[in-house]
Amino acid sequence: MSELYRLSFTTGGLFIQESPMVAELFLLSRDWQSTRDQVREQNLLQVRTAAAAMRISKEIVARLELLDVGELEALVEGNRKDLGYLLWAACARRYAFIREFATEVVREHLLVRRRTLSPVDFDSFWSRKALWHAELDQIAESTQKKLKQNLFRMLREADLLSESMQIQPALLSPALAQLLAEKGKEELLIYPATDQEIVRWLQ
């Protein structure tokens, strides 16, 4: 039986604004629990309710703790494009559904030169995965819609999808490509890129 999908990415996108601050706090303490507590208790995310602060801080930490120290330092110190790519990597590590959509739909579209991504592509992927993941059939239609909207938002924030739904090839900096490549080729397959580009990243 396939491992159950985590499906808690219904809001917030990549948390582009909030994540570098949380990562920076962690790099000072090297303690994720302490980081999450500090973010929540001091309302560093500037959200209205304690419940929202807890939910959002928990979600951001759950993603960022899947990045190693070198990746977190790059996230804090890097440019806006690298930030988006790293947060996309964190989401793909956290959520198998996102990782598989990235490799099986987005990257595959690029390879066969289908440069436009559509909501129908998400629906088809969902139906295909539901054959092996019964939990998808139990998701309310409204939640499925939120997951779809937020996944496309993440792709746009990662600069992998344009506002007109055109897939944009990843332009990883040499330093970031090298950092990610240390973990193996599969870490690079979540980005829309040709096989030749991935080989170049691995060198």
Residue 89 to residues 46, 176, 187, 195, Cα–Cα distance (Å): 25, 11, 8, 18
The model's confidence at residue 132, banded by pLDDT at 50, 70 and 90, is: very high
What does the mean pLDDT of the chain come to?
94
- The whole-number average pLDDT for the span 13-19 is 96
Quick one: what percent of the chain has pLDDT higher than 70?
A: 99
CATH of 79-203, one of 3.30.1390.10, 1.10.40.30, 3.30.9.10, 1.10.3540.10: 1.10.3540.10
pLDDT at residue 46, as a whole number: 87
169-196 tens-digit pLDDT: 999 999 999 999 998 899 999 999 999 9
Average of per-residue pLDDT across 144-170: 98
Q: Is the pLDDT of residue 101 over 60?
A: yes
Q: Span 74-85, mean pLDDT? A: 95
**Among the listed residues 103, 197, 67, 91, the one whose alpha carbon sits nearest the alpha carbon of residue 153:** 91
Task: Note the pLDDT of residue 199.
Answer: 92
Tell me what pLDDT residue 54 has: 87
Q: Is residue 166 helix, strand or coil?
A: strand
Domain range summary for the chain, segments of one domain joined by +: 15-65, 79-203
